[in-house]
Amino acid sequence: MKLTASLSIFSALVAICSAAPQIKIGSTTLNGRDIPTLRQEFFGGIPYAEPPLGDLRLRPPVLKTTLDSETFDASDYGPGCLQKASGATPLSEDCLTINILRPSGLPEDAKLPVFFWVYGGGFEAGVSSIYNGSAIVAQSAARGTPLIFVNFNYRLGPLGFPQGQEADDKKALNLAIKDEIAALEWIQSNIGIFGGDKEKVTVFGESAGAIMNSILFLNSPFEKLARGAILESGSQATSLNSFASRREIDWQNFVSGVASCASLATSGHTFDCLQNAPSDEILNGLVNAINEAPEQFAFDPTIDGPDGLYPDLPSRVFAQGNFAKIPFISGTNLDEGTAFTPLTINSEDQIRAAIVSNFTPPFASEYELLRAADTLLELYPDIPALGSPFNTGNETFGLSSQFKRAAALNGDISFHSQRRFFQSTATKAGIKNWGYSFTQPQPGLPPFIGVTHGVEVPYVFGAPSDQSASSLRISALMIDYWVSFATSLDPNDGKGLPRPVWEQYAIGDESVMQLNGDDTKMIPDTFRKEQIDFINSIPVVLMHRRNDKI
């Protein structure tokens, strides 16, 4: 979700700057940018890890808490990490940088809470520079609870999530999540210099960013690095739960596109060559892998074993009680599945084939998978009024009625059931958490898409494209809820705009906040209860997905 309009405003504002603010890290003086119109200061493009090039390519990040120069220009963002398309954003493999936006004039001992954003993009795209936290910082200060906004870049595609048996053997999996951990460790070392409190870090992110944050609950030093999390449209099992060997073909496609290493694509011995290949060839390989992928998302996180960040299926980890005990907010948008459902789908046989393909090879038996597919088709009948986009009656928008059927099923399996499963698990473990359902209408989008995946992000950043009173109202309320949680670990701090009390998730009284500019209120978390209960009753069968191209 790009915030280009917001970024343009930010760029114009930073151009109207006075004397550059300075910060000293070790023996290096960082020169940032003053934004007097907002009373904010920006420091960007700061390396938090050594450049992941040469021998460090396809390896975990090497934390870099100090710089090697006397001065450093921190007045702008660094380049984005290599990806298929980035618009006007410059790209580089030397992309592991972090950015800080803070209220102006902070003393070093200010100890403000830190709000750490992780962008989404299917683990294949995204860059920190398109997310402008100025509205969040401004509203936090105006309500008397100032905070510091931080975001960063992480590696993408095969560089961030290597696949295949060789990557598994070399313990080179989930590198992007390790990038996030390194950025959080950098905060622990340095955020105090910027006036932040390393003990008051809250992570938030959307889609892939939320998935990465949620995975940190499983088997990482998360409790030492953050005290809270906000998960927007993403849970541990929203992405594929499988082993790297399953996607051998995707790694081969990557290597095949790297000219100097293509002959080794199927050899099982590619890393040495790849670490010596030039970056332009690496980018060609990345693009080739994404173009040739037999599925929608080829470079998801992978199970990396008992000592890894993703030790097993999340449902099994939950059952053992081995997850971080950190308070969180988790939510979904009304029509998550429409963004991932082909417009060309037009038969029940296609839906059944997709279910079987997406969950093959099964962690359970093939018989259980086939039986689950049949049950799902019964629970999600071909009745347009029950499909997604929801609350649109029998309207099919010129598409087959199977589209709404498949979109409802996709959204529930990958998003709504996962959110409900984790919230119930956490609540039973005594972890405070709050849920939401974002239902704000999107008049600027085609009607068949509804309130789809990702549309809440501009509201969180104070930049919705719909400038109606209702839209602006829910944007302001969401920032207040988010900031309240980041600064107090409770969305109900009583400060800022008047807003409904957001009740904690509770067993026996499960409810979530409906985020809608015309009707913000608590609602029962019982929508499609029979369907989602079934999905969550067989997590080993359905709590992982593949999204094959149909």
- Exposed (0-12), middle (13-18) or buried (19+): which is 188, by Cβ within 10 Å? middle
Residues 6+ positions from 458 with CB-CB distance below 8 Å: 1, 3, 6, 464, 465, 475
Find the farthest-apart pair of alpha carbons in the chain and give their distance in angstroms, rounded.
69
Task: Tally the C-alpha atoms within 13 A of residue 264's C-alpha that lie toward its C-beta.
Answer: 15
Tokens of 192: 């105090």
Closest of 45, 7, 213 to residue 119, by C-alpha? 213
Closest of 42, 18, 202 to residue 106, by C-alpha? 42
C-alpha to C-alpha distance for 473 and 440, rounded to whole angstroms = 11
What are the helix (H) ranges across 200-292? 208-219, 222-225, 248-256, 271-274, 279-292
C-alpha to C-alpha distance for 120 and 103, rounded to whole angstroms = 26
C-alpha to C-alpha distance for 313 and 242, rounded to whole angstroms = 8
E strands, 439-530, where? 511-515, 521-524
Q: Is 242 a catalytic residue?
A: no
Of 207, 233, 239, 424, the catalytic one is 207
C-alpha to C-alpha distance for 46 and 24, rounded to whole angstroms = 12
Closest of 268, 267, 273, 251 to residue 54, by C-alpha? 273
Tokens of 388: 């997604």
* Tokens 């944007």, residue located: 475
**If DSSP codes are grouped into helix, strand and coil, which group holds residue 528?**
coil
Task: Tally the C-alpha atoms within 13 A of residue 20's C-alpha that lie toward its C-beta.
Answer: 17
Tokens of 518: 């015309």
User: Is 355 within 8 Å of 368 (Cβ atoms)?
Assistant: no
Paired with 115 in beta bridges are 149, 202
C-alpha to C-alpha distance for 538 and 56, rounded to whole angstroms = 40
- Exposed (0-12), middle (13-18) or buried (19+): which is 517, by Cβ within 10 Å? buried
Please name the helix (run of DSSP H) or strand (run of DSSP E) that holds residue 240, with its range, or none.
Answer: none
Which positions are catalytic? 207
